[in-house]
Structure 1
Amino acid sequence: MKPMCEKVIPSSNSSWRFVKYQRPNIDFSWHYHPEYEICLTLNSKGLRYIGDHIEEYSKPDLVFVGPYMPHTWHSAINEDESSQVVYVAQIPKAWLDELVTEHPEMQGVEDMLQRSSRGILYSSECTKKAIVLFQQMEIADPFSRYILLMNLLNVMLQDQLSILLSSRFFTYSDKTDSGVDKLDRVIEFIYGNFDRSLYADELAAIAHMSTNHFHRFFKKRTERTLTVFINQLRVGKACKLLINSNHPISVISDQCGFNNISNFNRQFLSIKGSTPSGFRKSIRLKHAQ
């Protein structure tokens, strides 16, 4: 089966993507992407596929996958129907490579990045430390999360029991995927126009797809619906305006493309866990301390 190229969107106000999944099971999704990926899988058992390596797993599983390495996990529903948790950090190659190149303190990471091209499985002791760091990332602000990522890389670097997974003969060179160009064009258009009403049919036309096909395509490639993606982008812009300007919230709502203040408040609360006014107040209190 040919792996699918996944489009990775960095988290809000971040250079990289952090995400936590809670699902009944992990579906088989054979894919690759240009980013480094650190994946921590909890409370599940099944099969792990990294390149040409296939292995059963049944305990907390920490793996570092290099750019363009096809991979997936696959599990059934737990007997007690408990949720299966997956933490993922996806880090742009150019960004992390530049950090390593320009900072002598990180030179030791270079070898680990090279080894990740085969997929690295870490020891149970290292995995325990990673669990704590990922749980802290979940509630951290972007800067604190960045520090935690550096701590995680250091913990992984110190693991003397890590092992390589895929064979050194395995390479995946077929990175041609017409869907990548289509998605890039759509996302570029969204970034340039999210302050106005956007419609699925106009975006589908950019991708040369039917509207129904486009909705499925977008969700499969970005792991979120079109509406969620646009609202997350708009709320991210709103956060910057709430922090850096004194504009009334109603004005910021209009500037970020929300059709009314009620919808703005509802979407902001859903994504950020507070209202726009509460968010602005908390930021000002922090600055006053």
Structure 2
Amino acid sequence: MLSKPIRELIATPLDRGIRAYQHGYPSDVTIWHYHPEYELHAIRRSSGLFYVGTYCGSFKPGNLVLTGPNLPHMWVTDRSGYDEGETFGDFIPDRDLVIQFSGEFAGNCVEHFGDCAPLSDLMTLSTAGLVFSEETSRLVLPLMEELTQQNGPRRLSIFFEIIDLLALDKDRQSLSVEWHIPRCQNPRRLDNILGLIAANHDRSDFTCTEVAEAENMELSTFSRFFERHMHCTCIEYINRLRIFKACQLLIETDARITGVAYDVGYGTLSTFNRNFQRFIGLSPSAFRAQWRYGETVGTETRAS
């Protein structure tokens, strides 16, 4: 399995519209991936762990999350999740509902229609990922399902009804660090840095110094730039990505823990175990045992 986020290629042009669909689990889009489109993602069946940027937490049916452009994300159903309410075997049909739209489409809506101001606010907040309340999820999921079946003007009316419900949710919560900071004076540099880390954090010899050198920055200058925009150090950010990928491998595969540690970029097992305990609150073996017996991890992890 790959331990870096994969760029999802969305074939449908989204500059003038929206894409709405449903899919089962596992599928070719249930890996650790990212794309430049905004995405509203809902879970209808199963339970497990979900990852958004540097956030890791538990999900259950009704989980509703909005992610911004290029924010990596993934939902991993644990083994007990296959047995919730129905017997699925090795495949869970229609687990996910998804709406995707581009920044260009949303920007045009905001520019030409004054009533779309709430959409602009959601776009800004989604750079960190947003999870919505159970009440909002209860209202939005049927609309998302209807959207997957509609054509013509009704699609737009449903979309804006969904946006209105999301904007009214006072109990929504931010998940990750902000992936693209609107006030960043050099967003291209930040994109380059995050892209380099995404492509190489599974290498045991990968260092923050390598990232700084790639951007022709002194290490001290790079460190200040990174912490100012990501609200954590570069090495902590890399460790979080490695540990979250390790969680996926421990749930989805029977690989030995030593092999998992090496696959996600750790050269020594002791360092892997120490970081896993720090971020997840359990040892790797205890984490795997809990999820295989259907128990729930009691720790949710955010960047601080």
Calculate the TM-score normalised by the size of structure 1: 0.55
Compared CA separation, residues 11 and 137, structure 1 to 2 (3 A): farther
> Is contact 1:38-1:88 (8 Å) kept?
yes
Stretches (4+) displaced over 3 A: 23-28, 168-172, 174-177
**Hey, what does 2:191 align to over in structure 1?**
173
**Hey, what does 2:129 align to over in structure 1?**
119
Q: Does residue 41 of the first structure (1) align with residue 38 of the second (2)?
A: no
What one-letter code is carried by the residue in structure 2 that aligns with 1:133? L
Compared CA separation, residues 85 and 26, structure 1 to 2 (3 A): farther
SS of the residue corresponding to residue 160 of structure 2 reads helix
Q: Residues of 2 paired with 1:169 and 1:67: CA distance?
A: 8
Q: Residues of 1 paired with 2:27 and 2:44: CA distance?
A: 11
> Is contact 2:20-2:144 (8 Å) kept?
no
C-alpha displacement of 1:84: 4.9
Q: Residues of 1 paired with 2:175 and 2:120: CA distance?
A: 18
Compared CA separation, residues 18 and 11, structure 1 to 2 (3 A): farther
C-alpha displacement of 1:140: 1.3
C-alpha displacement of 1:176: 5.9
SS of the residue corresponding to residue 83 of structure 1 reads strand
Pairing 1:152-167 to 2, within 5 Å after superposition:
152-167=162-177
What one-letter code is carried by the residue in structure 2 that aligns with 1:117? T
Q: Residues of 1 paired with 2:112 and 2:24: CA distance?
A: 37
Q: Residues of 2 paired with 1:155 and 1:30: CA distance?
A: 28
C-alpha displacement of 1:27: 7.6
Deviations 1:40-70 (A, max 9, x none): 1111111110000000112311100000111
For structure 1, which runs of at least 5 residues remain unmatched after alignment? 178-289
**Hey, what does 1:95 align to over in structure 2?**
105
Partner residue of 1:56 out of 55, 58, 62 = 58
For structure 2, which runs of at least 5 residues remain unmatched after alignment? 182-189, 197-304
CA RMSD of aligned residues (A): 2.7
Compared CA separation, residues 170 and 90, structure 1 to 2 (3 A): closer
SS of the residue corresponding to residue 191 of structure 2 reads coil
Compared CA separation, residues 123 and 23, structure 1 to 2 (3 A): same
Calculate the TM-score normalised by the size of structure 2: 0.53
Pairing 1:116-265 to 2, within 5 Å after superposition:
116-168=126-178, 173-174=191-192
What one-letter code is carried by the residue in structure 2 that aligns with 1:173? D
More relative contact order, 1 or 2 (CA 8 Å, 6+ apart):
2
Pairing 1:1-16 to 2, within 5 Å after superposition:
1-10=3-12, 15-16=17-18
C-alpha displacement of 1:94: 1.0
C-alpha displacement of 1:24: 6.0
- Determine what percentage of the aligned residue pairs are the same residue: 22
**Hey, what does 2:209 align to over in structure 1?**
none
Partner residue of 2:78 out of 51, 76, 79 = 76
**Hey, what does 1:104 align to over in structure 2?**
114
Compared CA separation, residues 141 and 75, structure 1 to 2 (3 A): same
> Is contact 1:8-1:90 (8 Å) kept?
no
Deviations 1:6-62 (A, max 9, x none): 1112289x7221111133689851111111000011111111100000001123111
Deviations 1:235-283 (A, max 9, x none): xxxxxxxxxxxxxxxxxxxxxxxxxxxxxxxxxxxxxxxxxxxxxxxxx
Q: Residues of 2 paired with 1:18 and 1:169: CA distance?
A: 24
- Aligned residue pairs total 177
**Hey, what does 1:241 align to over in structure 2?**
none
